[in-house]
Chain A
Amino acid sequence: MSGFNLYTRGDRIFGIANASLMLLFVLSTLYPFIYIVSASVSSGFAVSSGQVVLWPVDPTLAAYKHVLSDRMFWISYGNTLYYAIVGTLASLIIMVPGAFALSRPRLRGRRLITFLIAFTLWFHAGQIPFFLNIRDLGLLDTRIGIVLAFACNAFNVILLKSYFESIPASFEEAARMDGATDFQLLWKIFIPLAKPALATVTLLCLVTRWNGYFWAMVLLRSEEKIPLQVYLKKLIVDLKSDDGFASRLMTAEYSFETITAAIMVASLIPVVIVYPYIQKYFTKGMTLGGVKE
């Protein structure tokens, strides 16, 4: 559509109206981010008294200093990194070989297995049986439980499988002619060829792990194991109503609001850093495997 000439007055007005509306939408998307960054570097008093509207007022790094000295912040941040990295590795280690095997026509029963995996997208047992199962497995309140229980999902398996299937059969034939085993076939031929799909799935897993809070909140009891999002939830949702807590935190320099703002910024930074890669692979890569999001 680019390269159009604006030749009539009406067209020009249309273009300007459209661009203005778009600008409005973009600014309203951007505003909460600007506000939260501004609030995190303003003084506690300025935020509590409603002086911060767009830019920082009485700039100070006091909230960040407080957050960086908060033991729970570091513990939960470390846990989130652990769940994101180990969880994503577990996902790849289980799903990539599985999806590869499932993509080979010589695998007996692959139709049935594919159906049983895809079926879990349609029908799931629900929160309670899932929870009781985790408990019966002895995985409640364990890090490995969080890593394992969310390692696979049918969507990613099917995405990987479709991508492996799209790789021409001649690659497999040639490799098998040279005496390659299935392990070698996967490791040396299919994984290098499936890099776009692997990147997409890796990013999907990382973002899901980084952002997930619900099951971590339900399954983990000890504070030492909770991820950042659960810690943040405790601060924002559970303690917000506890006025005693909020006022105890309040000093002239920082307040409950500036501290939660600082933690939100700290949690957003990694997402913003990987975002360019996410955008590249999600908007283009998702169509590669024949699956559009």
Chain B
Amino acid sequence: MKTTQRLLTLLLIIAGLTSTSALGQKYIDTQGTIQFEASEELFEPVKATNNSVSMVADFSKNEIASLALMKGFRFKNSLMEEHFNENYIESETYPKAIFKGKLKDFDFSNWQDSTAMIMVEGTLTLHGEEKAVETPVTLTRDGDTIRLQGNFNVTPGDFAIEIPKIVRNKIAKEINIQLDFNLTEK
């Protein structure tokens, strides 16, 4: 009798554990897009896109993490891409950018609307430097997919990237970063 009871409790605990993990609300995108632009008028556009950025969002804890490989940024101009990798971002030494952050005041389980504007607070690490980032993002529900979009500005100085004088007027002081992720539950 006692053993049955124990077994039952054990089963209940296991059931409890599995159900909480099922409610983990982990959403993943492996093909997210990050585009950055630092173009100045009259000069050649300074712009690159990475189409294989990954993001993991845990809506039960309101945590998001994203990772972009520097070599994955493609420029129209191959020389610009080479300079980006070798002189500015130094992708051999610092191959990736990582963002870790939190969604502020978001209650995913009670989210009914089709869109929501959420503040994200976190740290962006690239080129060996960390920077605190606070930016609004838009969440849009599209069937099983949750689309996360947003954009924010950084400066090369934030990440100890020095722009040589000779090209300084061809590269904008502020770099705009655009995010576009389609998260699906995993």
Partners in one complex: no
